[in-house]
Structure 1
Amino acid sequence: MFVLQRFLGHLSIMAEMIRGLNVVLLGRTGIGKSASGNTILGKEAFKSKKSSTSVTRDVAVESGRVCGRWVTVYDTPGLFNTELSDQLMTEIARSVYLSSPGPHAFLIVFPVNMRFTEHEQQIPQIIEMMFGEEVLKYSFILFTHGDLLEGESVEKLIEKNCRLRDLVQQCGGRYHVFNNKAQNNREQVNDLLQKIDSMIEQNGGGHYSNQMFEDEEQRKQHEEKQIQDEIKRFLLLLLIFCCC
Structure 2
Amino acid sequence: MTATLEDRAQQPFLERMEGFQKGKYGAMAEGRSEDNLFVTPLALRIILLGKTGCGKSATGNSILGQRMFESKLGAQSVTRTCQAKTGTWNGRKVLVVDTPSIFESKADTQELYKNIGDCYLLSAPGPHVLLLVIQLGRFTAQDTMAIRKVKEVFGAGAMRHVVILFTHKEDLGGQALDDYVANTDNCSLKDLVQECERRYCAFNNRGSGEEQRQQQAELLAVIERLGREREGSFHSNNLFLDAQLLQRAGAGTCQEDYRHHELCPLLPLLLHSGPVVEAVVSPHTLLHQVLQAMVVHVCYIVIQGLAPKSSLWVKRMTTCLMAPAPKTSFTLLTATMS
Q: Normalised by the size of structure 1, how large is the TM-score?
A: 0.75
Alignment of 1:47-196 (within 5 A): 47-79=70-102, 85-98=108-121, 99-114=123-138, 116-159=139-182, 160=184, 161-182=186-207, 184=209, 185=211, 186-196=213-223
Q: Secondary structure at the match of 2:234?
A: coil
Secondary structure in 1 matching 2:235: coil
Aligned-partner Cα distance in 1 for 2:177–2:41: 34
Query: In structure 2, what is the Cα distance between the partners aligned to 1:68 and 1:85?
Result: 40
Q: CA deviation at 1:28?
A: 1.1
1:211 and 2:234 are equivalent in the alignment: no
Once residues 181 and 229 of structure 2 are traced to their aligned partners in structure 1, the CA distance between those partners, rounded to angstroms, is: 23
- How far apart, CA to CA, are the structure 1 residues paired with 2:65 and 2:110? 33
Q: Match of 1:22, SS?
A: strand
What amino acid sits opposite 2:229 in the alignment? Q
Change (3 A) 1:165 1:158: same
Residue 102 of structure 1 aligns to a residue whose secondary structure is: coil
Secondary structure class of the residue paired with 2:201: strand
Q: Indicate how the Cα distance of structure 1 residues 94 and 216 shifts in structure 2: closer, same or farther if over 3 A, else same.
A: farther
- In the alignment, structure 2 segments of 5+ residues that lack a partner are 1-39, 242-263, 268-277, 286-338
Contact 1:28/1:78, CA 8 A, preserved across alignment: yes
Offset of 1:177 from its aligned partner? 0.6
The answer on whether the counterparts of 1:121 and 1:167 sit within 8 Å (CA) in structure 2 is no
Instruction: Within 5 Å, give how 1:16-31 maps onto structure 2.
Output: 19-31=42-54
AA at the equivalent of 2:158: V
Calculate the aligned-residue CA RMSD, in Å: 2.9
- What is the TM-score normalised by the length of structure 2? 0.55
- Secondary structure of the corresponding residue to residue 134 of structure 1: helix
Residues 164 and 38 of structure 1: CA distance in aligned 2, closer, same or farther (over 3 Å): same
Aligned length in residues: 208
- Larger relative helix fraction: 1
In structure 2, relative to structure 1, the CA distance for the partners of 1:80 and 1:197 (3 Å cut) is closer
